[in-house]
Structures are given as C-alpha cells and as structure tokens.
Amino acid sequence: MGRGMSFPMIQFTKEKVVIVTGSNTELSEDGFERMFQVNYLSQFLLTAHLLPIMKTSGEDCRIVLVSSNAHKYASRFDVNSIHYKGDPEKFSSYQYYSKSKEHQVMQMFSMNHRLQGSNVAITSLHPGVVNTEFSRYIQERNCCWNCIGKCVWSGAFTRTPFEGAKTTIDAAVNPKWKGKGGIYFESCKEATPTAQSRNEEYQTALWRHTLELLKNHLPTDILQGLEGKNE
C-alpha cells in the first residue's frame, strides 16, 4: 500500500502490542477513509502479520487495542458507508473517529473468537481523557471535538499521560488478565462496550470487508488463517 498505509505509533512491551491514532478528513491515496485506514485497517494489518509470530512466542501473548469511549458515538453501522464519498461539508471527523474506534472494538471481539484456545489474547480499552498531544490532529471544530479539546488543553477532567497509560499497561502485563481476551477495559476494570460493537452480525460484516481490502497485502497462509480456512 502507499504511504497513507503507514503504521500508526506502535509500542512493543515484550511480546505485547499497543497501537494508536491518526486523523484526517480526506480519503487516503489507497482510496480509503483515512481514519478507518490509520486507526483501524493499518493496525489490523500489522496484527495479522504478527499473529503467526505471537502464536509461537510464549504462553502469554497479548494484543491490546487502544480504542476509546468515543466508539459510543458511532452512528448506525453500515459496512457500505465506511469509505466516505459524499459532500465534504457533511463530513464529521468526530463521527469517523468514533467509527474507527468502534471498528477496533469489533475487531477485538472477532479476533478473540478466532484466538480461542491459543496463547494469544486480545483486549481493547478506553484510556480515559488524557492530556497528550492528541488534539493537535483535530482540524475540524464541532461541539464534540471542542469539548475534548477544551478538556485536554485546560487539563480539566483529564488524566496525565502517566495516569492515562495505566489501563493499557494493566491490560498488557497484569497477570490477572493472562489468557483473558474479548474484554473492553476502562480504568483498569472490565467495562461494557456498546451493543452495536457487540453485534456479531456487524462484526462478521466488518471482518469480511477488512479481509477483502487486505487480501493483496497479506500472505495466503495468514489470510486463510483469518478466513478460518486453516481450521
């Protein structure tokens, strides 16, 4: 894929993988909605490439997808509308951010299903509203982004980066979570993501669409494993 498919920031903690963000209101040079590509598709691709290595790398391998409570603001799921092609005036970057974060949660459930009985567990989480450099990417100003921006810039109701990292670190290394996948965390505790993200029909539709988009970017054996043809 082109430069637009560059991986988001990746932090490796031993065999743990934590993957993060990006934002834009234009289609990527690959023709995909950019937040979908940067926040979801690229980390799916990376995870897919790493899975065979992880499966032979010790008894406690974990994939932690850093999602967001913003997934709760995603509008109705429709696999056909993932790649925006409409009026730029109507484009809401917060909506596409929310969707990309919802897709991460859905990936977590789908992949967890396929990792049952293996040494790899996948979880997802909301880190809290954290005072990072996150808001520098925000180009569009609407009430949702403004609210987040104000919180982050003022420091009100926000966590320090140290505090904000705790849920991710807990998910990645706490022995309590060994072998436990399919969990969405908030403040180091199990939480319930939206009903829409837990909808298995939607998860399957997203999974199939994702594999279709990535079929030319994954070796056949990995692709077949994800399609369930190696089972």
Ligand X SMILES: NC(=O)c1ccc[n+]([C@@H]2O[C@H](COP(=O)([O-])OP(=O)(O)OC[C@H]3O[C@@H](n4cnc5c(N)ncnc54)[C@H](OP(=O)(O)O)[C@@H]3O)[C@@H](O)[C@H]2O)c1
Name the residues that contact ligand X, by CB under 6 A.
6, 8-9, 20-22, 38, 66, 68, 126-127, 129-130, 132-134
Please give the angle made by the CA atoms of 47, 178 and 208, to the nearest 5 degrees.
Answer: 30
- Residue (38 or 122) nearer to ligand X, CB: 38
- Residue (8 or 182) nearer to ligand X, CB: 8
Question: What does the alpha-carbon distance between residue 159 and residue 216 come to, in Å, rounded to a whole number?
Answer: 41
Which is catalytic among the residues 40, 97, 184, 202?
97
CB of residue 127 vs ligand X: minimum separation in angstroms?
5
CB of residue 209 vs ligand X: minimum separation in angstroms?
21
- Residue (127 or 225) nearer to ligand X, CB: 127
- Residue (111 or 152) nearer to ligand X, CB: 152
CB of residue 51 vs ligand X: minimum separation in angstroms?
20
Handedness of CA 99, 200, 230, 115 (dihedral sign): positive
Question: What does the alpha-carbon distance between residue 177 and residue 80 come to, in Å, rounded to a whole number?
Answer: 35
Does residue 184 have an active-site annotation?
Answer: no
User: Can you point out the beta strands (E) in the chain?
Assistant: 10-13, 16-19, 61-66, 120-126, 184-186, 189-191
CB of residue 223 vs ligand X: minimum separation in angstroms?
24
Residues 45 and 10: beta-carbon distance below 8 Å:
no
Enumerate the active-site residues. 97
